[in-house]
């Protein structure tokens, strides 16, 4: 509120109270030009983008987390060993052969004390196939599977009833013979499958989706670098001066092109989480069309071919169309938190975080009202300033070897602040950016 | 219908709401147009252009301040644009210090009719009158005035100061004449 004297306040009150009825023709001129229906599409794009990113992320996670259903025959859980299907018998025989070749496997010995159970499901089949193709311990000592087999054994002791043991010839107090190990393998598989197969009794999603904090905490340092391109969406907004806004929109020529490159250092925690920070540099290049009406062009031609020099002058008045350029540079400090899902060579992940930005209007090339070229180094409209942005992305990671990972990611970067910061400018500018990048992560 | 509902209906293209908004503010805004433009046909043009912009950009109104104040700024801007187009010359801002010539001690009357107020304002040089009118009567900040008139904020401040002194002087002179 402006500072006023008492009489000025009274004058303002009087001025704002005073009304004069405008002529009816004024409304008749206004009414036909009014917007009749305004569609609310302002946030539609953002909702669809967010929904799309979430959907892709969920799809990738689903594909990686679910055991392959079609390749793994499903066996009724309550079937007895006598009713085991031929396919299962065949698989059990295969396992018997492999276990005979390595009878000293400690995990299997523990399992053999527990007796037998009735069925296998997809996870079990997967484990058996691994066993057949790669002779050796079914459950490698010291791996994540070793923990699961321990758990399986404990569950076995709790859930196998004496009747079941009798029916299958199992004995809970004496070590079983080799043929019983076939059933014991199935028992292990069943117990594991019971925990890990969706749709089975006792299955819990949280065991799949949440990181396993019971594992030893592993802090694995890494460095990574990535390079990407972006497609920013230019946003213009006006406070009250709409003519400028319309002019800026009219100047729009093509999407802004960007590239960025960065290097980060980070830690992998609990095998699923990553925390990284570093530095990033990016450039935004914008081409736009300047329209300058009322430009006068004077062309003077001197003809020296004759004995007397002749001059011709052509004066043209018209509109000048000029393609102008602006370049912005960004120095960023990203702080990113990642979460990786799935195991194996291909994994998927989500990454989100904040970036501290040092925005720099680098160069601009336009023409003035006289049609003369002007090169800006820095404009009062866009000056150096500190800001921040939020970023979220979905990534797919390919393990090249134990130390080197390659990844590709796609995401969205949101800038809450405006890029033009002169208070008297009524048209404010900012960019929002969709981007894609390729990167390399090296574990130290 | 409260203001927020009225805005919402206008944005949805409700013709009745648009007319209601016009009826609510057009009298006050036309008065402002007449104050700046003087000529009725220019004032009507400024009013029409201003209201068309108001309806087109009503969605950008943040409802943090008063709707009337927001509309008033748009109307003032359109008045200046119409004036600039018609006059084809920039406003003159006299640099001589008029305060010594017109300084007085008697304050202008607080309870003055609108017509008397305009009579005083008409006696001011054009630059003084514009800045005084925009700052005091229409509540624009110096930054906004500077942007509108293409002058610096310090010029706007000095013009306002001179306009105040000038008004005080005019008022004192009139008092002296009346008493004589």
pLDDT tens digits, one per residue of B43-92: 898 999 999 989 988 888 877 778 888 999 899 989 988 888 777 655 55
- What pLDDT was estimated at residue B125? 85
pLDDT tens digits, one per residue of B133-168: 999 988 888 988 888 888 888 888 998 988 888 888
The answer to whether the CB of B27 falls within 8 A of the CB of A19 is yes
Average pLDDT, integer, range A38-50:
65
Cβ-based contacts of B136 with chain A (< 8 Å)? 2, 4, 8, 11-12
pLDDT tens digits, one per residue of A417-430: 877 655 545 667 77
Residue with more model confidence, A321 or A26: A26
Tell me how far apart the alpha carbons of residues A139 and A189 are, in angstroms, rounded to a whole number.
Answer: 11
Neighbour tally for B88: CB within 10 Å: 6
Would you say the pTM of this structure is higher than 0.80? no
CA distances B21 to A27, A35, B5, Å, are 11, 14, 11
Q: Which residues pair with A349 in a beta bridge?
A: A340, A395
| pLDDT exceeds 90 at position A82 | no
Task: Give me the DSSP letters along A125-149.
Answer: HHHHHHHHHS-S-SS-TTSHHHHHH
Q: Do A34 and B55 touch (CB under 8 A)?
A: yes
Choice among A116-120, A176-180, A220-224, A382-386 with the minimum mean pLDDT:
A116-120
| pLDDT exceeds 90 at position A218 | no
| pLDDT exceeds 90 at position A262 | yes
- What pLDDT was estimated at residue A426? 60
pLDDT tens digits, one per residue of B43-55: 898 999 999 989 9
| pLDDT exceeds 90 at position A338 | yes
| pLDDT exceeds 90 at position A293 | no
Q: Which residues pair with A328 in a beta bridge?
A: A284, A361
Write the residue in B26, B52, B135 that is nearest to A22 by C-beta.
Answer: B26
Nearest residue in A to B148, CA atom: A424
The answer to whether the CB of B78 falls within 8 A of the CB of B49 is yes
The answer to whether the CB of A151 falls within 8 A of the CB of A114 is no
C-alpha A30, offset from chain centre: 48
Asked whether this complex has an ipTM greater than 0.90, the answer is no
Q: Do A19 and B74 touch (CB under 8 A)?
A: no
Cβ-based contacts of A238 with chain B (< 8 Å)? 57, 60
Sign of CA dihedral B143, B144, B150, B151: negative
A32 touches chain B (CB under 8 A): no
Whole-number average pLDDT of chain B: 81
């Amino acid at each position: 509120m402006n500072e006023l004297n008492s009489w000025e306040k009274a004058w303002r009150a009087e001025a704002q109270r005073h009304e004069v009825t405008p002529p009816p023709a004024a409304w008749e001129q206004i009414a036909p030009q009014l917007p009749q229906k305004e569609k609310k599409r302002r946030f539609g794009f953002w909702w669809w983008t967010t929904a799309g990113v979430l959907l892709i992320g969920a799809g990738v996670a689903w594909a990686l987390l679910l055991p392959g259903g079609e390749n793994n025959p499903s066996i009724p859980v309550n079937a007895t060993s006598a009713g085991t299907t031929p396919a299962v018998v065949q698989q059990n025989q295969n396992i018997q052969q492999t276990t005979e070749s390595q009878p000293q496997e400690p995990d299997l010995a523990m399992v053999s004390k527990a007796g037998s159970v009735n069925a296998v499901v997809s996870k079990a089949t997967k484990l058996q196939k691994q066993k057949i193709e790669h002779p050796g311990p079914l459950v490698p000592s010291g791996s994540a599977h070793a923990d699961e087999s321990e758990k399986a054994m404990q569950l076995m002791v709790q859930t196998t009833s004496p009747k079941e043991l009798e029916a299958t010839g199992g004995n809970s107090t004496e070590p079983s013979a080799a043929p019983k190990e076939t059933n014991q393998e199935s028992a292990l598989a069943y117990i594991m499958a019971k925990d890990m197969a969706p749709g089975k009794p006792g299955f819990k999603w949280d065991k799949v989706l949440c990181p396993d904090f019971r594992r030893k905490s592993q802090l694995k340092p890494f460095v990574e670098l990535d390079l990407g391109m972006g497609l920013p969406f230019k946003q213009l907004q006006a406070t009250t001066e709409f003519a400028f806004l319309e002019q800026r929109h009219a100047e729009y020529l093509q999407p802004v092109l960007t590239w960025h490159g960065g290097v980060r250092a980070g830690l992998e925690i609990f095998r699923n989480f990553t925390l990284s920070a570093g530095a990033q540099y990016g450039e935004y290049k914008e081409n736009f069309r300047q329209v300058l009406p009322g430009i006068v062009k004077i062309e003077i031609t001197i003809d020296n071919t004759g004995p007397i020099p002749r001059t011709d002058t052509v004066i043209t008045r018209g509109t000048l169309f000029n393609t102008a350029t602006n370049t912005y540079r960004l120095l960023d400090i990203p702080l990113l938190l990642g979460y990786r899902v799935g195991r194996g060579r291909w994994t998927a992940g989500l990454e989100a975080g904040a970036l501290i930005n040092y925005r720099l209007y680098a160069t601009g090339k336009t023409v003035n009202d006289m049609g003369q070229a002007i090169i800006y180094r820095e404009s009062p409209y866009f000056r150096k300033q500190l800001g921040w942005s939020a970023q979220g992305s979905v990534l797919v990671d390919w393990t090249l070897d134990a130390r080197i990972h390659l990844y590709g990611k796609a995401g969205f970067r949101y800038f809450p602040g405006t890029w033009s910061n002169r208070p008297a400018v009524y048209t404010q500018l900012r960019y929002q950016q969709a981007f894609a990048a390729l990167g390399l992560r090296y574990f130290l | 219908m409260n203001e927020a509902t009225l805005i919402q209906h206008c944005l949805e293209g409700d013709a009745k709401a648009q007319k209601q908004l016009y009826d609510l503010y057009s009298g006050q805004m036309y008065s402002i147009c007449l104050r700046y433009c003087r000529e009725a046909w220019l004032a009507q043009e400024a009013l029409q252009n201003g209201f068309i912009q108001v309806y087109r950009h009503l969605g950008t109104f943040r409802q943090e301040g008063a709707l009337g104040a927001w509309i008033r700024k748009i109307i003032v801007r359109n008045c200046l644009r119409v004036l600039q187009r018609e006059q084809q010359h920039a406003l003159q801002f006299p640099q001589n210090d008029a305060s010594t010539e017109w300084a007085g001690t008697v304050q202008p009357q607080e309870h003055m009719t609108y017509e008397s107020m305009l009579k005083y304002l008409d006696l001011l040089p054009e630059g003084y009158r514009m800045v005084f009118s925009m700052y005091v009567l229409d509540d624009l900040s110096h930054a906004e005035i500077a942007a509108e008139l293409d002058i610096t904020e310090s010029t706007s401040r000095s013009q306002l100061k001179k306009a105040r002194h000038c008004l005080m002087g005019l008022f004192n002179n009139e008092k002296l004449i009346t008493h004589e």
